[in-house]
Amino acid sequence: MTRLTNPLHSWFLGPKGENEQLLKELLDSALQAHLSWRRGYHPEDPSPIPAEASSTPAAASQRAELKGQFAALLRQLRGSVPFFSGRYNGHMLSEQTIAAQAAYFAAMLYNPNNVSGEVAPVTTQLEGEVAEQLARMIGYDPWRCWGHLTSGGTIANFEALWIARNVHYYPVGASLAARSLGVDVPVSMPGGSLAMLRDLDLWQLLNIRPECSLDLWEKLWAAAPKQLVESALSRHSLASLGYQDYSRQLTREFGDPLAAGVVLAAGTSHYSWAKIVAALGLGSNQLVLVPVDRECRMDPDSLWREIESLTNKRIPIMACVSTCGTTEEGAVDDLQRILEVRERAQRELGVTFHIHSDACYGGYAASLTRAPGGSRHAPGAIREMLGTAQWPTDQWVRSLSALERADSVSIDPHKLGYVPYPAGAFLLKDKRGRELVSTDPPYLAVATSRENGEQPVIGRFIFEGSKPGASAAATWLSHKTIPLNSAGHGKIIASTLRGARELYALLGSSDFAPFRVIRLAEPDLNIVCFLLHHPSLTTLSDINALNETIYRELSPDAQMSAPYMITRTRLTSPGYDGVIEPLLSLLGGDIGRSPETAAEGLTILRATVMNPFSSQGGPDYLLGLTDSVRQVAMSFLRDPATMVASRPAARS
């Protein structure tokens, strides 16, 4: 590919608006099509606005007021973060594809509300197709799975746990409902044997594989008339009783109050999980942190030990959250091994749970593993395509390929999908699970499936209600024109991964004397984390102050005067012990070893190299960023008064 045939050059507006003409044409044709649509609808209807209305003084003054305020808004917007520039490597914020921008604008004019096909007949169909595009990228069977767009990753993650919880507890309610109905049905056990539902004790009921719980759901509906099953389930299920009554019922029926089920997640997981366990009433104590390794990935051996220990205490596990692209480091968990740990738990301990992959950030990297025809590339073929010898590793490719075996996956188009906010996506491998959270809106036409040619009522199965059809149109057109494979979207991802690796190498090879740059593990995606150290600094607080200063100098202010922009985060114990320990060894001495300083945590600098053009020629922004970090550090040396009070970092 020469510099003149690079498709990335026409997929984005461009840092200098190089593709202005294309965007103008698309926006103008969207407006013209919309006007013609309005005018073509009952053309016989007269206009309610008299022709001369626009020439009155009042109308002229309203127009002037609007134009004035609009110009003021445009001026204010110039204070936004310059996401389009290679100088911005801060949060997960970057360019949007022209396709997405134009489609968003076009659909926005029609104001479709994707809560239901009744109010958005076109864009709800597009939303279904987006789910199918994403499903094919990760390897879900589009006929078996279900997916939809959300306002973002937090809600997609929420829905994953909402469904996981209801599927997990379903067999308990089903068993009590079966007793009251006088029926019984066979259930597959984690080890593969069959048992009758009513013979199972509470522990066994809480350890039915998610797909077997859903088989059970179907079997129970077939075992008795629908209304009787409905009423029996509503008298016994967690979803209708709520935790207090449910626990009372368990004590009464099984002589055993429910041991609170836990959710396993690594210390690197996104803070949305803390919100979600609280919002679902599970309690934040039930979010159990699994140790991470020095690569910031969930440690599968520690996961196994945690499962064994919980099983010994007879504490049920509702779900395990694995991350594909951690927020702070872009680390990709070894999902394949995590799935193997679950298989082992099923086999050896009779224990099982839902596995969710929070691929909100990294999910789009799966596009690199797909050939244009849809088949999966072997790791060697990806390396050959990228002209790299060792990267991506076999394990990396295996982890992304394993997304197809997770029970649910969240992927955000508004992150590495390069489409405008709001656009998260939730994918569920077995679509029956959505029935366990469904609510029929009485005022919207209720229909269950698109396959029946009926209007989809997305709102029936999701947490949100009204939501923008424009997001569906934007994501759909972007995927349609930049397909989710190695010849399409994979090129954007590859370019940013390359950029991050270049920055990582530059930080390692540049002369920062008298400072030392300490880098976290090589990036799995496109986030580079590092910190600076100086021999005169002997406490963790001082080292944190140095790095806080660098962050402060390289972060947005009102004038956007920083030459480059990055962010920082704070690694704290115990969630990050696996990462902090090796870093402290590199710092040397006893730095950070006392309990007080360990509690303070370690500030690290973080550069999100999301800009598609970072490694595509043009200005060498990565070298510029490296130089800026050095210069800011030098000024710290000249003026230690710039030391800032260390304070906990907020996560993006």
Ligand X SMILES: Cc1ncc(COP(=O)(O)O)c(C=O)c1O
Q: Which residues bind ligand X (CB under 6 A)?
A: 92, 152-154, 157, 270, 272, 323, 325, 327, 358, 360-361, 412, 424, 652
Q: How far is the CB of 150 from ligand X (least distance, A)?
A: 8
**Residue that has been written with the tokens 């962050």 in this structure:** 551
Q: How far is the CB of 538 from ligand X (least distance, A)?
A: 34
| Cβ distance to ligand X smaller for residue 325 or 601 | 325
Q: How far apart are CA 591 and CA 601, in angstroms?
A: 11
Cβ closer to ligand X: 83 or 203? 83
Compute the least distance from the CB of residue 435 to ligand X, in Å: 25
Neighbours of 619 (CB within 10 A): 13
**CA pair distance 589, 108, nearest whole angstrom:** 59
DSSP, collapsed to helix, strand or coil, labels residue 354 as strand
303-312, Cβ contacts within 8 angstroms, sequence gap of 24 or more: 303/264, 303/338, 303/341, 304/341, 304/344, 304/345, 306/264, 307/264, 307/341, 307/345, 307/349, 307/351, 308/349, 310/262, 311/345, 311/349, 311/351
Q: Is 574 helix (H, G, I), strand (E, B) or coil?
A: coil
User: Taking the complex as a whole, how short is the minimal distance between the CB of residue 416 and ligand X, in angstroms?
Assistant: 10
- The minimum distance between CB 149 and ligand X, in angstroms, equals 11
| Whether 609 contacts 416, CB under 8 Å | no
The CB density around residue 401, as the number of other CB atoms within 10 Å, is: 19
Minimum separation from the CB atom of position 521 to ligand X (A): 17
**Which residue's CB is nearer to ligand X, number 213 or number 272?**
272
Residue 16 neighbours by CB distance under 10 Å: 10
Q: Which two tokens stand for residue 461?
A: 């199965």
Complex with ligand X: residue 270 or 354, whichever CB lies closer: 270
Compute the least distance from the CB of residue 400 to ligand X, in Å. Answer: 15
Q: How far is the CB of 424 from ligand X (least distance, A)?
A: 5
HSE, side-chain direction, 13 A CA sphere, residue 86: 22
Phi/psi for 255 (5° steps) reads 65, 25
Q: Quick one: 424 or 592, whose CB is closer to ligand X?
A: 424
Nearer to ligand X, 237 or 327 (CB): 327
User: Cβ 360 to ligand X, closest distance in Å?
Assistant: 4
Alpha helix (H) residue ranges in 414-539: 469-481, 489-509
Give the CA angle between residues 243, 408, 261 to the nearest 5°. 25
Spell out the residues 6+ positions from residue 278 whose beta carbon is closer than 8 angstroms to its own: 284
Asked if 484 and 137 count as a contact pair (C-beta separation under 8 A), the reply is: yes
- Tell me whether residue 299 or residue 333 sits nearer to ligand X (CB atom): 333
Query: For residues 367 and 471, which CB has a smaller minimum distance to ligand X in the complex?
Result: 471
Q: How far apart are CA 540 and CA 546, in angstroms?
A: 10
Q: Which of 412, 319, 406 is nearest to 365 (CA)?
A: 412
Residue at 551: amino acid letter: Y
Please list, in sequence order, all residues whose beta carbon lies within 8 angstroms of the beta carbon of residue 180, skipping any fewer than 6 positions away: 232, 235, 236
| Cα separation, 446 vs 432, whole angstroms | 17
Task: For the CB of residue 272, give the shortest distance to ligand X in the complex, in Å.
Answer: 5
**Cα distances (angstroms) measured from residue 164 to each of 44, 172, 355, 379:** 54, 14, 9, 32
Q: Quote the least distance from Cβ 155 to ligand X, whole Å.
A: 7
Question: Which CB, 299 or 553, lies closer to ligand X?
Answer: 299
Smallest CA-to-CA distance from 206 within 310, 110, 113 is with 310
Smallest separation, CB 159 to ligand X (Å): 12
- 52: Cβ–Cβ under 8 A, 6 or more apart, which residues? none
CB of 339: closest distance to ligand X in angstroms? Answer: 19
CB of 500 to ligand X, least distance (A): 15
Classify each residue of 422-460 as buried b or exposed e, where b means 16 or more C-beta atoms within 10 Å of its C-beta.
bbbbbbbbbbbbbbbbeeeeeebebbeebeeeebbbbbb
Complex with ligand X: residue 91 or 434, whichever CB lies closer: 91
In terms of CB distance, is 415 or 501 closer to ligand X? 415
The dihedral formed by the CA atoms of 625, 631, 635 and 640, expressed in degrees to the nearest 10? 60
Whichever of 333 and 430 has its CB closer to ligand X, that residue is 333
Tell me if the bond preceding 442 is cis, omega within 30° of 0: no
Q: Which residue's CB is nearer to ligand X, number 538 or number 652?
A: 652
Q: Which is nearer to ligand X, 395 or 652 (CB)?
A: 652
Phi, psi of 223 (to 5 degrees): -85, -15
Nearer Cβ to ligand X (155/318):
155
| Shortest distance in whole angstroms from residue 605 CB to ligand X | 17
